[in-house]
Amino acid sequence: MNTSAPETINYPDEMTQKPFFDLTVEMLECVRDHNFARLAQICDDDYGIVDINTEGGSEIIRDRAGWERWFTGLFEQLERMQAQTWSEITNYEAMESAEMGYSVVDFDQMFIAGNQRMRFSVLATIIWKKTEHGWQEARYHSSLTGVKEIKD
């Protein structure tokens, strides 16, 4: 198995043509690249998020200030570890109405730091809202569904 982030991932048309797919990929790429500024533009998270913490449990974040602390701290920690991460979407469903939408995203997040090579399987639900800036994530909730060591 290749243990470096792919330049691009070719997803099937049945995924890429669904609402919010490009934004979802961009969000995951922002996490991969530690691009806090762009991630902060895509995500509004009025009511906070539920994310997976570094111990594999739930990180419950209730407001924007908590969201900002979480991601800046996470990115700093990953950089200190010289960790490489990336995500690969394995299943994607979405619906859109005039003002709101939602997506359900199965993805594997790879984590490589030193000799540690892990694959975390995640199931996330994302609520999207239409704003004057376009579509933004309004709520994110993820669950860890599996963990495997990546073998060379």
* Residues 46-86: tens digit of each pLDDT: 788 999 988 889 999 999 999 999 999 999 999 999 999 99
List the alpha helices (DSSP H) in the chain: 13-16, 21-33, 36-42, 64-81
**pLDDT over 50 (residue 1):** no
Phi, psi of 21 (to 5 degrees): -60, -50
In the predicted model, what is the mean pLDDT of residues 27-49?
94
Do the bridges between strand 100-113 and strand 58-61 make them parallel or antiparallel, or are there none, so unpaired?
unpaired
Determine the CATH number of domain 14-149: 3.10.450.50
Domain residue ranges in the chain? 14-149
**What's the pLDDT score for residue 54?**
82
Structural contact between residues 74 and 55, judged by C-beta atoms closer than 8 angstroms: no
